[in-house]
Amino acid sequence: MFGLLFIGLIFSKWLLTVSQLLLLVAVLSDPESRRNLLRAFRSPIVLSLISLYLMYIFGLLWTSDMKYGLKDLQVKLPMLVFPILLFAVGQMKRKTSTGLVFFFVGCVLLLSIISLINFYI
Protein backbone atom coordinates (compact mmCIF):
# COMPACT_ATOMS: atom_id res chain seq x y z
CA MET A 1 0.00 0.00 0.00
CA PHE A 2 2.75 2.46 0.94
CA GLY A 3 4.77 1.50 -2.13
CA LEU A 4 1.86 2.54 -4.33
CA LEU A 5 1.62 5.75 -2.34
CA PHE A 6 5.31 6.56 -2.88
CA ILE A 7 5.14 5.75 -6.59
CA GLY A 8 2.13 8.04 -6.91
CA LEU A 9 3.86 10.75 -4.91
CA ILE A 10 6.75 10.79 -7.35
CA PHE A 11 5.30 9.79 -10.72
CA SER A 12 1.55 10.38 -10.92
CA LYS A 13 -1.05 12.63 -9.31
CA TRP A 14 -3.79 10.19 -10.27
CA LEU A 15 -1.99 7.28 -8.63
CA LEU A 16 -1.38 9.43 -5.56
CA THR A 17 -5.11 10.12 -5.24
CA VAL A 18 -6.02 6.46 -5.74
CA SER A 19 -3.47 5.32 -3.16
CA GLN A 20 -4.73 7.89 -0.64
CA LEU A 21 -8.28 6.59 -1.09
CA LEU A 22 -7.12 2.98 -0.76
CA LEU A 23 -5.22 3.83 2.41
CA LEU A 24 -8.31 5.57 3.78
CA VAL A 25 -10.45 2.51 3.02
CA ALA A 26 -7.86 0.27 4.69
CA VAL A 27 -7.79 2.47 7.79
CA LEU A 28 -11.58 2.63 8.02
CA SER A 29 -11.98 -1.12 7.55
CA ASP A 30 -9.69 -2.05 10.47
CA PRO A 31 -11.14 -1.46 13.98
CA GLU A 32 -7.72 -0.80 15.54
CA SER A 33 -6.86 1.70 12.83
CA ARG A 34 -10.18 3.45 13.34
CA ARG A 35 -9.36 3.85 17.04
CA ASN A 36 -5.92 5.17 16.08
CA LEU A 37 -7.55 7.58 13.66
CA LEU A 38 -9.68 9.02 16.45
CA ARG A 39 -6.58 9.23 18.67
CA ALA A 40 -4.74 11.04 15.89
CA PHE A 41 -6.91 14.09 16.39
CA ARG A 42 -5.56 14.40 19.94
CA SER A 43 -1.95 14.31 18.78
CA PRO A 44 -0.16 17.67 18.93
CA ILE A 45 1.55 17.00 15.59
CA VAL A 46 -1.71 16.27 13.79
CA LEU A 47 -3.43 19.21 15.46
CA SER A 48 -0.62 21.54 14.38
CA LEU A 49 -0.92 20.31 10.77
CA ILE A 50 -4.67 20.84 10.87
CA SER A 51 -4.17 24.36 12.22
CA LEU A 52 -1.63 25.07 9.48
CA TYR A 53 -4.12 23.95 6.84
CA LEU A 54 -6.83 26.08 8.49
CA MET A 55 -4.46 29.06 8.24
CA TYR A 56 -4.23 28.45 4.49
CA ILE A 57 -8.03 28.37 4.31
CA PHE A 58 -8.27 31.54 6.39
CA GLY A 59 -5.70 33.18 4.12
CA LEU A 60 -8.10 32.79 1.19
CA LEU A 61 -10.02 35.77 2.60
CA TRP A 62 -7.20 38.05 1.37
CA THR A 63 -6.50 36.46 -1.98
CA SER A 64 -7.24 38.23 -5.21
CA ASP A 65 -7.07 34.98 -7.20
CA MET A 66 -9.52 32.56 -5.61
CA LYS A 67 -9.06 29.97 -8.36
CA TYR A 68 -5.34 29.72 -7.63
CA GLY A 69 -6.00 29.70 -3.87
CA LEU A 70 -8.39 26.75 -4.13
CA LYS A 71 -5.94 24.88 -6.36
CA ASP A 72 -3.20 25.58 -3.82
CA LEU A 73 -5.41 24.11 -1.07
CA GLN A 74 -5.95 21.03 -3.21
CA VAL A 75 -2.20 20.65 -3.71
CA LYS A 76 -1.57 21.04 0.02
CA LEU A 77 -4.26 18.53 1.01
CA PRO A 78 -1.86 15.54 1.02
CA MET A 79 0.26 17.46 3.54
CA LEU A 80 -2.73 17.18 5.87
CA VAL A 81 -3.98 13.71 4.92
CA PHE A 82 -0.70 11.73 4.95
CA PRO A 83 0.25 12.31 8.59
CA ILE A 84 -3.26 11.60 9.81
CA LEU A 85 -3.53 8.34 7.87
CA LEU A 86 0.00 7.26 8.77
CA PHE A 87 -0.77 7.94 12.42
CA ALA A 88 -3.92 5.84 12.07
CA VAL A 89 -2.06 2.90 10.51
CA GLY A 90 0.10 2.65 13.61
CA GLN A 91 3.75 2.12 14.21
CA MET A 92 5.62 0.08 11.61
CA LYS A 93 8.42 -2.35 12.21
CA ARG A 94 11.86 -0.86 11.73
CA LYS A 95 12.61 -3.22 8.84
CA THR A 96 9.43 -2.16 7.04
CA SER A 97 10.05 1.55 7.48
CA THR A 98 13.67 1.20 6.35
CA GLY A 99 12.52 -0.72 3.28
CA LEU A 100 10.00 2.00 2.46
CA VAL A 101 12.66 4.69 2.74
CA PHE A 102 14.95 2.77 0.37
CA PHE A 103 12.03 2.21 -2.01
CA PHE A 104 11.24 5.94 -1.97
CA VAL A 105 14.88 6.85 -2.59
CA GLY A 106 14.99 4.33 -5.45
CA CYS A 107 11.89 5.84 -7.04
CA VAL A 108 13.34 9.35 -6.76
CA LEU A 109 16.61 8.13 -8.29
CA LEU A 110 14.72 6.45 -11.14
CA LEU A 111 12.74 9.62 -11.83
CA SER A 112 15.96 11.64 -11.82
CA ILE A 113 17.55 9.31 -14.34
CA ILE A 114 14.45 9.41 -16.56
CA SER A 115 14.42 13.22 -16.37
CA LEU A 116 18.09 13.46 -17.29
CA ILE A 117 17.59 11.13 -20.24
CA ASN A 118 14.63 13.16 -21.46
CA PHE A 119 16.57 16.41 -21.05
CA TYR A 120 19.64 15.32 -23.00
CA ILE A 121 17.91 13.35 -25.74
Given a cut of 70, whether residue 7 has pLDDT beyond it is yes
Range(s) of the domain holding residue 70: 2-120
pLDDT score, position 15: 79
List pLDDT tens digits, range 13-52. 777 778 778 888 888 888 888 888 888 888 888 889 889 9
Predicted confidence (pLDDT) per residue in 47-77, tens digit: 898 899 999 999 888 888 899 989 888 888 8
**What is the model's pLDDT at position 109?**
92
State how many domains the chain has: 1
pLDDT top residue among 38 and 5: 38
Q: Look at the chain and count its residues.
A: 121
Which pLDDT score is estimated for 113?
92
pTM listed for this prediction: 0.66
Q: Could you read off the pLDDT of 63-115 as tens digits, one per residue? A: 888 999 898 888 888 878 888 888 888 787 889 888 888 988 988 898 899 88
